[in-house]
A and B are shown apart, each in its own frame.
Chain A
Amino acid sequence: MIAATQGHRLMALLSVRDLSVAFETRDGLVRAVNDVTFSLDAGKVLALLGESGSGKSVTLRAILGLHPAVRTRVSGEVLLKGRDVNRLDEAARERLRGGVVSMVFQEPMTALDPVYTIGEQIVETLVQHRGLDRRGASRRARELLDLVQVPSPERCLASYPHEISGGMRQRAMIAIALACDPELLLADEPTTALDVTVQAQILWLLRDLQQRLGLAVIFVTHDLGVAAEIADAAAVMYAGRIVEQAPIRDLFRRPAHPYTEGLMQATVRRGQKGRALVPIPGAPPNLIALPAGCAFAPRCPRAYDACLATLPSFHPVAAGHAARCHLVA
Chain B
Amino acid sequence: MISVHALSHHYVGRTVLSGIDTVFPTGKFSALIGANGAGKSTLLMLMARQLQPAAGELRLAGMPLSQLTVRQFAQQVATLRQFPDFRLRLTLEELVAFGRYPHSQGRLGPADKAAVDDAIDYLGLASLRGRYVDELSGGQRQLAFLAMTIAQQTPLLLLDEPLNNLDIRHAIDIMRALRRLCDERGCTVIMVIHDINLAANYADHIVAMKHGRVYASGEVAEVMQSALLGEVFGLDFEVQRQHGGYVCNYFTYR
Q: Do A and B bind each other?
A: no
